[in-house]
Chain A
Amino acid sequence: MFIIGELINGMYNNIGKAIKEKDKDIIQKCALAQINAGADALDINCGPASRQPHLDIQWLVETIQEVTDKPLVLDSSKPEVIEAGLKVIKNKVIINSTTADSEKLEKLVPLAKQYQGKLIALTTSTKGIPQNKEQRLELAAQIVAYCAEVGFNLLDLYLDPVVLPVNVAQAQQKDILESIHEFKIISEPSPKTILGLSNVSQGTKVRSLINRTFLVMAVALGLDAAILDPLDKELMDAVITAELILNKQIYCDSYLEAYRKK
């Protein structure tokens, strides 16, 4: 499982404050804590309060690159903010995210190619969030078709079925999970699949348990990557164990430790 740490996000008070005050130390500590907990890459989002997101994202990228060479995930709904971040990127990069809308695809797919990066694509469009599996698949197929047409490597494409809070969209959860499996059979080679996990438990009282249960179910359906809180140890233990049960890791008595050594 490719783990993307979600904690560098201006929406969190400590990070928002650090961005505002340009406090490198807080950002760098947060980056390293996530990596030490097993993150393979770090999501970077300036948050909704940022007045100058194109400058803030550059500062975040440069600050984090001082302490790690792990891939960075440039997270913004605005392509121009992502483009600003790309200008200072040295590490491997993942763009987060495009939608199925052609104006976004036309902007972000070439950027991903230019920077030899990976691309996360949400199966949504300006028409709104899909309401069932069929709509998700349709949008996924549009994204895959566009990428194939312009020669973007489908192994570098991560499709996100868009996770909705279980207390809002309970009826959709099964469809969301099944989409993960169905995305894999859209094309050969298969695109990869990803979830922004924490949304599933938004507004609930037992967030960690819901996150963990949902993630394990998603792993069983073939999920390749997740954006999550790697400092949630029980969550990380659950995903490591799910992969063990799927025979993706060799069992040994210290398999949790072994995974973290990698």
Chain B
Amino acid sequence: MELVLERWQQEVSIVTIGATKEEGGTRSYVVRVGGEKTLPFLFPEGEIPYPPVIAFEVWDIAPSDWSTELNKYYGDVFNDPLAWAEKCVKQYQAKILCIRLQGAHPDFGNKTSDEEAKLISQLLKKVSVPLIILGCGDDSKDNLILPACSQATKGERCLIGDAVQDNYKTLTASVLADGHNIIAESPIDVNIAKQLNILISDMGLPLERIVINPTIGALGYGLEYAYSIMERARLAALSGDKTVASPFICFVGQEAWRTKEAKVSGEQGLIWEVITATALIQAGADLLVMRHPVAIEKMNNYIKTLMGVSL
């Protein structure tokens, strides 16, 4: 039987995270995501130059609501973000870190922008992997801390987020000025994802420096919905719509570990995180932010297997 192959018109844009010394940064290598010329893992149809990448999630304060299962792995470093980051890189071979500045939130420590910028600067010295930097989710606070962290990492080509439809201008301006990439977040809504990409690019940030956070749900909590949104955007991207041709970042860890199932047992949580991630890479996820080191190891092996397969 003959394979019916689709002829796609456009590829997903390639976003480069991290800058080496030669490029004006201090990272020891860069991570590239995107560039797919076809749907996930359909190798006979088109090139998939970069495998999905998993980022370890690290917080600037000890998380109060993480599962005790995760305590086993990070409990000793929860109170020291620098040690936490180092452990991810040295012990768990993290290729990229995602720093969530939760401690800046008015309800969780209310750290100042100076404190956060200082932490990020120390982090740059402590580890040499590329960085994703996330705010605390409070818009007015994020508009203080993220520009400070953007400036502190100028030239390091980080990925910084999240910009949302009602609050994207401050972050976009910072990212543009300091040479970073941006995460554009939409609430499981492809129309808003597209609109936000246009708004951000209208400010002068090229579409090639945007990563879409489509917002996902874990298995049993809206996974199919997120999947269908990502699939719709990706099909449009491959068919020629530049405004949605961005790589996806999916916050798998935070969604998987807050499910009822993960709260029942650590083992179940690990399975939930892996299953959610495996489904999302089939939907086109390029970057996955995860928590459990064993889940991440399993995913990395799975991705290796998938990328090795070609018909």
Contacts and interface: CB of A to CB of B under 8 A. Distances in A.
A262 interface: yes
Contacts of A253: 191, 195
A249 B198 contact: no
B62 interface: no
A250 interface: yes
B42 interface: no
A257 B194 contact: no
Contacts of B244: 250
Contacts of A127: none
Contacts of A252: 191-192, 194-195, 198, 243
Contacts of A249: 236, 241
B199 to A, nearest CB: 8
Nearest 5 A/B pairs, CB to CB: A252-B195, A252-B194, A258-B243, A254-B198, A252-B191
Contacts of A250: 190-191, 194, 232-233, 236, 241, 244
B242 A254 contact: no
A249 to B, nearest CB: 7
B143 interface: no
Interface string B182-214: 000000001110110011010000010000000
Q: Which of B236, B240, B241, B242 has the most A CB atoms < 10 Å from its CB?
A: B241
A250 B191 CA distance: 7
Contacts of A205: none
A251 interface: yes
Given A252-B243, A253-B195, A254-B195, 13 more contacts: A249-B236, A250-B236, A252-B194, A252-B195, A253-B191, A254-B199, A258-B194, A258-B241, A258-B243, A261-B198, A261-B201, A261-B207, A262-B240
Secondary structure call for the A interface: loop
- Categorize the interface residue count of chain A: 10 to 19
Contacts of B198: 252, 254, 257-258, 261
Nearest to B199: A254
Contacts of B192: 252
Contacts of B195: 252-254
A177 to B, nearest CB: 25
30 contacts: A249-B236, A249-B241, A250-B190, A250-B191, A250-B194, A250-B232, A250-B233, A250-B236, A250-B244, A251-B191, A251-B194, A252-B191, A252-B192, A252-B198, A252-B243, A253-B191, A254-B195, A254-B198, A257-B198, A258-B194, A258-B198, A258-B241, A258-B243, A261-B198, A261-B207, A261-B242, A261-B243, A262-B240, A262-B242, A262-B243
Contacts of A262: 240-243
A12 B192 CA distance: 43
B151 to A, nearest CB: 29
A215 B192 CA distance: 29
Nearest to B233: A250
Interface in A216-262: 249-254, 257-258, 261-262
Nearest to A249: B241
Nearest to A258: B243
A222 B192 CA distance: 28
Nearest to B243: A258
Contacts of B233: 250
A150 B233 CA distance: 39
Nearest to B190: A250
Nearest to A257: B198
A169 B148 CA distance: 69
A253 B197 CA distance: 12
B86 to A, nearest CB: 42
A252 to B, nearest CB: 4
Interface in B233-258: 233, 236, 240-244
Nearest to B242: A262
Contacts of A261: 198, 201, 207, 242-243
Contacts of B207: 261
Interface string A185-201: 00000000000000000
A139 B238 CA distance: 35
A186 B236 CA distance: 27
B4 to A, nearest CB: 11
A257 B200 CA distance: 13
Interface string B242-281: 1110000000000000000000000000000000000000
A1 to B, nearest CB: 11
Contacts of B190: 250
Nearest to A255: B194
A113 to B, nearest CB: 18
A27 to B, nearest CB: 28
A261 B201 CA distance: 10
A255 to B, nearest CB: 8
